[in-house]
């Protein structure tokens, strides 16, 4: 095939609609539109999410004519990462085409018997948090359920994943329809059949979308708080003005997080900003009645920011004070900083040229 023919074939493939990320009901609509039996949807779902095929021709229990009809308008939608870079600590950062003008990153974090994948929900972000590289890229577009699920299925060792966290690029509540659809695919018996307890969704607290997530799923929730003082939080996170943390916490008090479902507060610590014991006391007060645990996160310095990480001793003292006050607090282990894969460092850039690349 010459270059022109290859280009035409690629263009045609891009115009096809991905089946990946579709729910069973959507696949039933596809079957109906193509004149196929209703049970075909269940077969396609199994091929997509259990057998994890990458081509419609691999769906061998569908007739040849049925596969031909499907291929006229649809494709599986699986795409390999553009690149992968490996940290000294075993963390791997993958770069994917978002089809939104800015590539997106997913981070694989192995840890003994756990393997967590941190996935993105948007290309860039609208929230403009002062400490986050993603927000500095601006907003380029929402990922589809297909591009979200593709991150899960297309990383190396995908079959070994034990946990998924929506903590990559973007604000999940700002792309809630696609996030909810992806969660359905991840947890449904016809999909990947994961327990929702293996999934955590992070948010700055965008309402009312957060309430919808809480009502329609049983996934764990992590709220990016970072300061117990509203005026200071607004300087760090402009979203405080639109969705005050006080209102978000009031909402969360109406849900049961005392049993299997977990609520976490993300708290990045900065030297001289929010790292004193007075802040720990204030944080304990605002979290009263929420059943929240606190994840203390070391700040990973980013270019152009005056914020600086506080000392390990400060973090340990802060943690101990919270525990004394009845708030379960832990210090999150920092992973992947050497490859710009740690919390707040994702920017959708291909930096594989100086590290191992995997295709």
For the chain, what is the largest distance between any 2 Cα atoms, rounded to a whole number of angstroms? 70
Spell out the residues 6+ positions from residue 177 whose beta carbon is closer than 8 angstroms to its own.
none
d(CA 27, CA 60): 17
- Phi, psi angle pair for 283, to nearest 5°: -65, -45
Active site residue 105: yes
Active site residue 129: no
d(CA 218, CA 183): 10
For the stretch 232-240, contacts whose Cβ atoms lie closer than 8 Å and that sit 24 or more positions apart, written own/partner, are 232/273, 232/274, 235/130, 236/129, 236/130, 236/131, 237/127, 237/129, 237/130, 237/204, 238/127, 238/128, 238/129, 239/127, 239/129, 239/204, 239/205, 239/206
Among candidate residues 79, 105, 171, 266, the one labeled active-site is 105
Among candidate residues 100, 118, 129, 343, the one labeled active-site is 343
What are the catalytic residues? Answer: 105, 343
């Amino acid at each position: 095939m010459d270059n022109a023919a290859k280009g035409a074939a690629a263009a045609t493939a891009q115009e096809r609609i991905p089946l990946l990320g579709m729910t069973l009901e959507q696949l039933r609509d596809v079957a109906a539109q193509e004149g196929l039996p209703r049970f075909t949807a269940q077969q396609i779902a199994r091929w997509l999410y259990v057998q994890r095929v990458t081509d419609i021709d691999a769906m061998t229990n569908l007739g040849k004519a049925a596969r031909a009809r499907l291929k006229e308008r649809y494709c599986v939608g699986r795409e390999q990462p553009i690149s992968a870079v490996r940290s000294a600590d075993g963390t791997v950062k993958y770069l994917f085409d978002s089809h939104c003008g800015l590539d997106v990153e997913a981070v694989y974090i192995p840890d003994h018997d756990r393997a967590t994948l941190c996935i993105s929900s948007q290309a860039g972000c609208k929230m403009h948090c002062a400490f986050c590289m993603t927000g500095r890229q601006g907003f380029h577009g929402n990922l589809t359920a297909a591009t979200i699920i593709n991150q899960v299925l297309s990383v190396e060792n995908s079959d070994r994943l034990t946990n998924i966290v929506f903590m990559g690029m973007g604000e999940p509540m700002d792309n809630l329809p696609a996030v909810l659809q992806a969660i359905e695919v991840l947890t449904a018996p016809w999909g990947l059949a994961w327990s929702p307890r293996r999934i955590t969704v992070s948010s700055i607290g965008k309402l009312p979308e957060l309430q919808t997530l809480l009502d329609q799923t049983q996934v764990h929730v992590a709220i990016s708080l970072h300061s117990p003082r509203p005026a200071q939080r607004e300087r760090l996170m402009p979203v405080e003005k639109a969705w005050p943390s006080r209102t978000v916490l009031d909402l969360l008090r109406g849900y049961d997080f005392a049993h299997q479902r977990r609520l976490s507060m993300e708290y990045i610590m900065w030297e001289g900003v929010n790292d004193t014991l007075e802040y720990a006391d204030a944080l304990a007060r605002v979290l009263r009645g929420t059943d929240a645990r606190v994840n203390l996160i070391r700040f990973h310095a980013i270019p152009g920011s005056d914020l600086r990480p506080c000392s390990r001793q400060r973090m340990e003292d802060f943690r101990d004070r919270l525990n004394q006050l009845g708030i379960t607090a832990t210090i999150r282990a920092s992973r992947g900083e050497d490859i710009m894969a740690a919390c707040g460092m994702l920017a959708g850039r291909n930096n594989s040229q100086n590290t191992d690349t995997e295709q």
